[in-house]
Amino acid sequence: MPDLAIRQLQVRVDQSELIHDLSLTVPAGQVHALMGPNGSGKSTLALTLMGHPRYRVTAGTITLGDHDVLAMTPDQRARAGLFLSFQYPQEVAGVSLGSFLRTTVNARQTKTVNLADFYQRLKAAADKLKLPESFIARGINEGFSGGEKKRAEIMQLMILQPSMCILDETDSGLDIDALKIVADGINLLRSPERGFLVITHYQRLLQFIKPDAVHVMVGGRIVKSGGPEVAVKLEQTGYESVSLTPSLSRGKGLSR
């Protein structure tokens, strides 16, 4: 199964360089957390991975297995297995969540899905995430609360079954009950065939999703990597305690 490998990445928006010489590997089957203060470049990295046109890569490489991600359009990246859960999911009126997911699944395979079978899959996913069945027929995120939008994002992940999941502050704005529901949904999808890059400010999500590695991003650079203890220490000492000297990546995305 494909690993996500980022090597010496530099990213600019207009005249500003926001990501500097960033290297990171997320192996298939592992959950890596990316933490950092506001403005550190975490969301910039997520949007760059998915091909947002505002973000211009000026150096470096991104690969997903054998795929050269930078040579692919956003829809090709999604077909190859990249998935982004947005920090601020948008409402799309007039397009039901169920129709959107069915169209997306059909676009990724040669055989059209059976409508009745697919509806049962949608209903099972909604049940696991404690979303009312009626949400399947509603416009995407239309009238959803913040927590419902985040659960709908995880529902999309469940249905689409990507190989590499980028979760951009999925815990933002969630109360403790919604956080546990979202975390349970993510944990259900952990497998040797699927990797996760979980972007978050706080350690609280990582209490429910146990990461294999934690990376700290400050000023557009990875400045520290290690195990789950890194997040625990950050919770105690804050980001100001982290050295601004970038760590050197070794092995499977870890640095010492």
Averaged pLDDT, 33-46: 94
Residue 23 resides in a domain: yes
Q: Is the pLDDT of residue 254 over 80?
A: no
Q: Is the pLDDT of residue 200 over 50?
A: yes
Angle of CA points 33, 233, 209, to nearest 5°: 35
Instruction: Tell me the CATH number at 214.
Output: 3.40.50.300
How many angstroms separate the Cα of 230 from the Cα of each of 68, 215, 244, 255? 31, 8, 15, 12
* Partner residues linked to 199 by β-bridges: 34, 168
Question: What's the confidence (pLDDT) of residue 244?
Answer: 53
Q: What secondary structure does DSSP assign to 188-234, as a single string? A: HT-BTTBEEEEEES-STGGGTS--SEEEEEETTEEEEEESTHHHHHH
Residue 218 resides in a domain: yes
Residue 154 resides in a domain: no
Q: Where are the beta strands (DSSP E) in 88-188?
A: 92-96, 139-140, 164-168
Residue 98 resides in a domain: no
Backbone angles phi, psi at 211, to 5 degrees: -80, 155
pLDDT digits 0-9 by tens, 68-123: 999 999 999 999 999 999 888 999 999 999 999 999 999 887 788 899 999 999 99
Residue 138 resides in a domain: no
Residue 54 resides in a domain: yes
Residue 125 resides in a domain: no
Residue 70 resides in a domain: yes
Which residue range(s) make up the domain with 13?
4-89+163-255
pTM: 0.90
pLDDT digits 0-9 by tens, 142-175: 999 989 999 999 999 999 999 999 999 999 888 8
Query: What's the structural domain count of the chain?
Result: 1
